[in-house]
Amino acid sequence: MQQTKTKTKILFVCLGNICRSPSAEGVFSAYVAQEGLSELFEIDSAGTSAHHEGEPADSRMRAHAARRGYTLSSLSRPVVYEDFFRFDYIIGMDERNRQSLIDMAPTPEAEAKVSLLTDWMPRPRPDHVPDPYYGGAEGFERVLDILEMACPSLLEGLRQGLSPRRP
- What are the helix (H) ranges across 77-163? 83-86, 95-104, 108-111, 137-160
Give the Cα separation of 112 and 21 in Å (integer).
Answer: 19
Q: Provide, for the chain, the percentages of residues in helix, strand and coil under a 3-state DSSP scheme, each rounded to the nearest 5.
A: 45, 15, 40
Residue 56 phi, psi (nearest 5): -75, 170
Give the Cα separation of 41 and 98 in Å (integer).
Answer: 22
Burial pattern 35-74, b for ≥16 Cβ within 10 A else e, equals eeeeeebebbbbbbbeebeeeebbebbbebbeeeebebeb
- The residues assigned a catalytic role are 14, 20, 131
User: What single DSSP character describes residue 36?
Assistant: T
Helix (H) or strand (E) holding 62: helix 59-67
